[in-house]
Chains A and B, each alone.
Chain A
Amino acid sequence: MRPILLQGHERSLTQIKFSHDGDLIFSTAKDQVACVWFYANGERLGTYHGHQGALWTVDVDATTTLLATGAADNTARLWDVKSGKCLKTWEFPTAVKRVEFSDDGTQLLAVTEKRMGYLGTIAVFDIKVDVEAEQSDTPRMTITCEESKATVAGWSYLGKYIIAGHEDGSISQYDSKTGEQLLNVLVHESDMQVNDLQWAPDRTYFISASKDKTAKLISARDLQILKTYPTDTPLNSACITPKKDFVILGGGQAAMDVTTTSSRQGKFEARFYHKVFEDEIGRVRGHFGPLNTVAVHPKGQGYASGGEDGYVRVHHFDKPYFDFMYEVEREHARR
C-alpha cells in the first residue's frame, strides 16, 4: 500500500506513538502542538494545545485514556485523550525530554534536561487512570543522574525497572521502587549519545539507537547485549516489530550537515533488519531529512516514521512483508 503522508506539523517531528489498539497515532513536533491521527486513513482527529515550547515527547497509557507530553517550556502535561483538555501541568526547572507510562498506566516517568546548574533527573509520578481524578503535584521519586544525563528512559515489564539511556553511550538499570541504580553498562561507543529506547511487546528487552551508528537489542533484566545492528549513519530511533522478527532503524546525517548534501547521501531511509540474524533486509525511502522517530503498530501491521522534514509517513505492511521468511524460520514454523 502507498504510504500516507501526514502533513500537519510545521516543524521537525520529535516523537510518534501508537495507541495500544493501534487505531490512533500521536505525534509531537517542535511546533508546540501535539496531534492525534487515525492510523487507517491518516485523517487528523485532533490536536492538544497548551505548550509554549517545542514538544519533545509523547506517550499514551494502555487504555488510551490519558496522554502525557513533555516540552521545552519546562513542563510535562497530562491530557484527556478524548476531549483534548489539559488535566495537569507539572513544572520543572528544565526541559522535559522524555515521558513514558508504565505498562499498567499507574506510573509516569519524565526525563529532564541538564541545564543552568540543574542536573538531569528522572521524575516518577503516581497516576490515577481516570480523567476526573485529581493527580498528585509532586513526584513520588526523583532519580538524579550525577554522571551523565539521561536522554531517554522507559519502564520494564511489570514496572520492575526503569531503564535509562545516557549521553555518554551507557545504559542504566534502576529499581523502580527505590530509584537505586542497579547496573550501568557502556553498550555504545563512549560519548555517543543514546537517542532512543523502545520496548519489545512484553517489555523484557528493548532496542537502543545511538549516534555511534549502531542499534542494540538489550535484555532488561541484566542489560546483556543480545544483538547489534551496525549501519553507516548516526541513528535517532529504533523499534522492534511484533509479529515478525524485525527491527526498524531510522536516522541520517545530522540535521546541521544536511543542507550541504543531497538526499541520496543523507541516508534518510528507514532500515529493516532481521532481529535475530542481524541482517539488513530492506530500506524504505521517502523522507528528505533524517528520521527523528520511528514507531511500529502494536500488532505489527504497519509503522510510522517522522522526519526532520516535518512529515509523518504511515506505512501499512503488505502481504509479502508477512510472507517473507528465512529458510530456517520456515523450517521452524513447520515443526
Chain B
Amino acid sequence: MAPSFQDLPPEEEHYDEDEDIDFSDLREQYEVRLEEGLDAFIVIDGLPVVPEESKSKLIKFLLRKLNTVGKTREDAIFMPLNDQKKSEGFAFVEYETPEQAIAAARALHGVPLDKKHTMLVNKLTDIDRYGREGRVDEEYKPPVIEPFVEKEHLRWWLGDPHARDQFAIYRGDNVGVYLNRKKEAPENIVDRQHWTESFVQWSPQGTYLISVHAQGVQLWAGPNWTRQKRFAHPFVNLVDFSPNENYLVTWSHRPIHVDEGHPVLSMEEDGKNYIIWDVATGKALRSFQTIDLPGPAVDEAGNPVKKKIQWPAFKWSADDKYVARMTQGQSISIYELPRMNLLDKTSIKIDGVMDFEWAPATPQRDGIKNYEQLFCYWTPEIGSNPAKVGLMSIPSKEIVRTRNLFNVSDAKLHWQSQSKYVCVKVDRHSKSKKSLATNLEIFRVKEKGVPVEVVDSIKDTVINFAWEPKGDRFVLITTAEVLANTAVPPKTSVSFFCPEKVKGQAIGNFKHIRTIEKKNSNAIYWSPKGRFVVVATVHSQQSFELDFWDLDYEGEKPESEKDLTANLQLMATADHYGVTDVEWDPTGRYVVTSASIWKHAVENGYHIYDFKGTQLREEHVERLKQIVWRPRPPTLLTKEEQKQIRKNLREYSKIFEEEDQYELDSANFAIVEHRRRILDEWLAWRASVEEELRADRKEEGLPETPKEDAADADADAGEGAFVEEIVEEIIDETEEIVS
C-alpha cells in the first residue's frame, strides 16, 4: 500500500527540476491579472450609524485606517444613506489593486474602532459568492457528527513479550520496520515501497513514523501502520516534534504559496516557511516566516551566500507548554501553547543573544516550590560589556543566574538530560586572538543559588562534549590546532570527567579521570541509560574505530582514581568500515552502526553490537539510507517498582538466559533439520542423475564408469603422487680464451 494524497489537489508534481531556478520575473510578467473591477472592492460592516453631517468625518477617520494596508481615496468610499438620511452602518471601499483589497480584508477584519464598534471587513466578491440569496440556508441544520471510530492501539509495540525493539530501515525506495533479533536476521513487520520521498523519522516517544512528501508529512502508527494524520505543507524539508508529541513543526525553504480555496491551508499561511500543527486535531496553529541570520546576503565575489538555517529554530520546553524562537542578536519570542500567543504579548529583548537552549526536563531547584521552565542563553561581548551566560525562568521571566565571561569567541550550551547541570563550553581566545582554549562553565542548576564550577584545565580546543544521560559524568574530545587544507585530520584526545567522592548526598567537584591521546575519534554516543559510552570515529576516510567504555567497571580500580565516582574501563574496540551513523537502542542494550549511501556508496549496511561492544550481526544492505531505532515513551513504573526490579535482577536474568538458550536451541535445531533435508534432497537428485548417466553410457556402449576415474580411484588408494623437481644451479661461470 503506497501512501496517497488523493484528497489533496495535485501540487506541482515535479518540483525538483525547477527548484533552483528563479522564475519570479517571468511569473510577474505573465501572471494572469485578476479580473479588474469588483476584486478591488471591500465591504466594511459594523460601522456606527451616523447622520449625513458626520458622514465625511467618519470617512476621514476610516481612511486613516484603510490607508495603512493599501491606497484608496475619499471618493472611492461609498457609504449609502437610508430614507432617514442616516448611514446604514456599512460602506463599500475601492482599493487601487485587488491585492490591497485582500490585504485589507486580512488585516482590518475584526479591528475595533471604539468600545462599541468593531469593523467587519470582507471582500465584495466573497460576500457575493457566499452571502448571495440562496447560498445561505434559511433553516439551521445541525452539523453531522461523524460516528466514533476506535483508533488502533498506538503503543501496541511495547507489548512485545520479549521486549524487543523495533527499527526502521530506509533503503532504495523501500521503508521497512523490523524487530531486532540480535544475531538472527531481524524480523520484518512491514515493508512498503515509496513510503516516503525524502526520509523517515520517529516521533520522540516512538508513537508515530513520519514520512515526508512533496505535499506534506504523514504520520503512521498502530499495528496495521495506518495513516493517522496528514499535514499538508507543500515542499516540506524538515519536521520536528514537541517532546510530548502534542505538536509538530514543519519547515520548507520555500515560502508557501496558497491559492484561494485550498482545502487545508488558509491565506494566513501564504508566504510562510514554518507551520506549527496540533497533532491531535491536525490543524495548523500558527505559521511563521524564516528569519535569516544576520550577515551579508552576497559574498565578496558577489555570489549569493548560502544561508545556513537554524534547526530546530523553534525550540520546545520540556512540558510542551512553550515554544520559543530566537531572533539572533535581538530577542527571544516565546509562544504559549495551545493558543500560540506571544507570552505577555512581547518578545524578550536580550541584546546580542547568540543561542539559547531549554532545559530538557522541568528543572527542580533547591528552595523553589513552583517549578518553572528554564532556558539558558548567552550573549557575546558588545563594546565594553562582557559576554554573558544567563538562565531565565519562564513564565515569570525571572533571571535566575548570570555570569560574565571575557575573551569569548564562541559558546555552546549543553544541558544534562535531567536538567541537573548545564555546561557552557566557552571557546576563549588569548588577547592576541591567536590561540584558542576552552573553558567549561558548569551551572549546578539543582543546587541553591546555582553555583558555577569552572573547569579550565583544558589546553586544546574541545570539538565535542556530551553529558552522561541521567548521570553526573561527561566525555569530551579535544584536538590541537586545526591546520587548514590538510588532508589528514589532526589527532584527537578523549577525556573523561566525573565528580569527586564526597560525604553525604552532595555531588563533589568535577575531576578529570583519564585522557586517551592520539585518537581519531570525533563523536560521543552515551547509552540512553548512562554508564556505557561509545566513542567513535565517523565520516572519516582513514579510521573507523568504535571504542566501548564502561564507567562503572566492576573490576579493580586504580589507586590514583579511588576518590572518583567512576571506574573507567575500555571493554572493546570495534571497527566498522565507512561508518557514518551510530545509534543506541532506547533501552541501552544494543548499538547499531551504519554506513549510509547519503554519505558514500561504499559497503552500505549496518552492524549491531551489544553494549559491551561484541558484534552480534553484520548486514550488507544495498542503498541503505537510514536505520533508526523506534524510541520508547518513559516508563510507567513507579520508582519503587523500578527499585524492586533492580533488586530481583538476578532472578529475572535467569529467566532471560533460559529463554535465550531455548531460542538458540530451537533455532539451531531448525537449521540442522533444514540442512539435513537439503542434503538429502541433493543426494537423491545426484542418485537419479547418476542412474541416468549410467543408462546413457550403457546405450553408447561405454563402460559404466570412465576409465580414468577408475584409475584415479586406484591412485588415491596409494600414497599419492610424487613430484620430482630437478633444480639446476649455476655456481660459477668462467670464460677462458684458448688461443
Residue positions of A touching B, CB distance < 8 A: 20, 23, 38, 40-41, 62, 157-158, 160, 202, 204-205, 219, 221, 226, 232, 261, 264-265, 276-277, 299, 326-329, 331-332
Contact = CB atoms under 8 A, between A and B. Distances in A.
A40 B689 contact: no
A299 B712 contact: yes
B34 interface: no
B269 interface: no
Contact of B693 (A202, A265, A276, A326): A202
A160 B696 contact: yes
Contacts of A205: 689
Interface stretch (B241-249, B303-311, B638-646, B677-685): B677-685
Contacts of A38: 723
Nearest to A203: B693
Contacts of B670: none
A332 B712 CA distance: 24
B700 A158 contact: yes
Given A20-B708, A40-B725, A41-B725, A221 B692 contact: yes
Q: Which 6 A-B pairs have the closest CB atoms?
A: A40-B723, A328-B675, A204-B689, A276-B682, A328-B676, A265-B602
Nearest to B676: A328
B672 interface: yes
B609 to A, nearest CB: 21
B675 A277 contact: yes
A321 to B, nearest CB: 16
A265 B685 contact: no
Nearest to A160: B696
B620 interface: yes
Nearest to B712: A299
15 contacts: A40-B725, A157-B693, A160-B696, A202-B693, A204-B689, A204-B690, A204-B692, A219-B685, A221-B692, A232-B622, A261-B602, A264-B577, A265-B602, A276-B682, A332-B679
Contacts of B690: 202, 204
A276 B712 CA distance: 25
A298 to B, nearest CB: 9
Interface string B695-708: 01100101000001
B357 interface: no
A318 to B, nearest CB: 15
A221 B686 CA distance: 12
Given A20-B708, A157-B696, A277-B678, A265 B603 contact: yes
Nearest to B705: A202
A276 B679 contact: yes
B678 to A, nearest CB: 6
Nearest to A278: B678
Nearest to A245: B682
A160 B675 CA distance: 33
A38 B725 CA distance: 10
Given A157-B696, A158-B700, A264-B577, A329 B708 contact: no
Contacts of B725: 40-41
Contacts of B692: 204, 221
Given A232-B620, A328-B672, A276 B708 contact: no
Nearest to B578: A265
B689 A226 contact: no
Contacts of A329: 679
Nearest to A275: B682
Interface in B615-644: 620, 622
Contacts of B675: 277, 326-328
A91 B721 CA distance: 40
Nearest to A227: B682
A263 B675 CA distance: 35
Contacts of A204: 689-690, 692-693
Given A160-B696, A202-B690, A202-B693, 7 more contacts: A41-B723, A158-B696, A158-B702, A204-B690, A277-B675, A328-B672, A328-B676
A321 B171 CA distance: 37
A226 B708 contact: no
A276 B700 CA distance: 31
Contacts of B700: 158
Contacts of B682: 226, 276
Nearest to A103: B706
A206 B725 CA distance: 35
Nearest to A157: B693
A265 B595 CA distance: 13
Nearest to A332: B679
B620 A158 contact: no
Contacts of B689: 204-205, 219, 221
Contacts of A219: 685, 689
B679 A158 contact: no
A144 B603 CA distance: 41
B84 to A, nearest CB: 88
Nearest to B715: A299
Interface in B15-51: none
Contacts of A62: 708
A332 B672 CA distance: 12
B622 to A, nearest CB: 8
A23 B723 CA distance: 9
B672 A327 contact: yes
Contacts of B678: 276-277
Nearest to A38: B723
A240 B603 CA distance: 28
B708 A158 contact: no
Nearest to B685: A226
A219 B708 CA distance: 23
Nearest to A20: B708
A54 B622 CA distance: 36
A326 B671 CA distance: 11
A221 B692 CA distance: 10
A226 B685 CA distance: 10
Nearest to A40: B723
Interface string B156-176: 000000000000000000000
Nearest to A159: B700
Nearest to B724: A40
A226 B603 CA distance: 29
A38 B723 CA distance: 10
A29 to B, nearest CB: 26
B182 to A, nearest CB: 19
Contacts of B602: 261, 265
Contacts of A20: 708
Nearest to B700: A158
A141 B679 CA distance: 40
Interface in B711-732: 712, 716, 721, 723, 725
Contacts of A264: 577
A16 B28 CA distance: 70
A20 B603 CA distance: 40
A40 B602 CA distance: 39
Contacts of B622: 232
A276 B675 CA distance: 9
B134 to A, nearest CB: 63
Contacts of B603: 265
A41 to B, nearest CB: 6
A323 to B, nearest CB: 17
A284 to B, nearest CB: 19
Contacts of A202: 690, 693
A158 B704 CA distance: 12
Interface centre among A20, A202, A264 (most CB of B within 10 A): A202
A40 B720 CA distance: 13
Contacts of A158: 693, 696-697, 700, 702
A160 B683 CA distance: 23
B729 to A, nearest CB: 14
A328 B690 CA distance: 22
Nearest to A226: B685
Contacts of B683: 332
A329 B678 CA distance: 11
Contacts of A328: 672, 675-676, 679
A329 B676 CA distance: 8
Contacts of A331: 676
